[in-house]
Amino acid sequence: MFPYRTFVDSTFPDRIPEQCPGSVSLVGAGPGDPELLTLKAYRRIIDADVVLYDRLVSAEILTLIPAGAQRYYVGKACSNHSVAQEDINQSLVDWAQTGKKVVRLKGGDPFIFGRGGEEMETLVANNVNVEVIPGITAASGCAAYAGIPLTHRDHAQSVRFVTGHLKQGGEMDWSCLAQAGQTLVFYMGLGNLQYICTSLMDHGLASHTPVALIAQGTTRHQQVHTGTLTSLPSGFYNGDIGSPSLIVIGDVVALSARLDWFDPEKKGCCGFVNEDVKNVSVSLA
């Protein structure tokens, strides 16, 4: 069932390293709505011995973890990391080496701003059997639930996913990001929103370019706030927009007024983080 792999030490080409008896699945839990969880992700969760989960995993998904499984909250918020990333990486190796079926459960997709690549590098280096189960990333899920097509023949021929953790005057290629005919999606960028908008305009993007802030997208708490690069939503200045929020910039945002289909108040809408799930021991020993 699990795709075992053998990694040969290039220094000793005739020697096959001893395989780890356990396994690790890097699982994407999707953007919030628990019904967006994939079937393969569901199967791995209900069969897990150990689950290490992040902050942005819906409470409904956490209820799928078997009662007998060990579960650990290792989530991160801005300037507040419950467990250092290096410790998470090593814990995955340690659990797998005891023969456990380990699920590393992440919001969105493990390989899109989820540090799944770092974790997999450590696992591969330690000859751990590992697989990646993609999830619907926040850009795709939240934009869809806000009625914003990320690409459109008339408005955007490409889309870029960008980290919002920026250093002013730093490494971003603003001239490239400010090109017309594309959609920009910034993850984790709410605290730098004004700097992002100013930088894009300074490098040529039109000031009237639409902007959307999607808070707690795909869940019953979803809020969509729209404005432009020079006229940000009032909720931003009032402090009414909280984390997690996604920033979408581009002409496609204007379509939301007509294509917005999702009603968070509709019976049956569910998802996001139950605060109680955070009150779990972070010891990974």
Instruction: Report the C-alpha gap between 235 and 226 in whole angstroms.
Output: 10
Q: How far is CA 45 from the centre of its chain?
A: 18
Q: Which of 33, 49, 54, 251 is catalytic?
A: 54
Alpha helix stretches (DSSP H) within 98-246: 116-125, 138-145, 174-177, 193-202, 234-238
Active site residue 267: no
Answer whether 139's CB lies under 8 Å from 148's CB: no
Active site residue 76: yes
Q: Which of 40, 47, 76, 87 is catalytic?
A: 76
Cβ neighbors of 201 (< 8 A, separation 6 or more) are 178, 207, 229, 230
Instruction: Report the C-alpha gap between 236 and 219 in whole angstroms.
Output: 20
Report helix, strand or coil for 133: strand
Cβ neighbors of 137 (< 8 A, separation 6 or more) are 28, 31, 108, 109, 112, 161
Residues recognised as catalytic = 54, 76
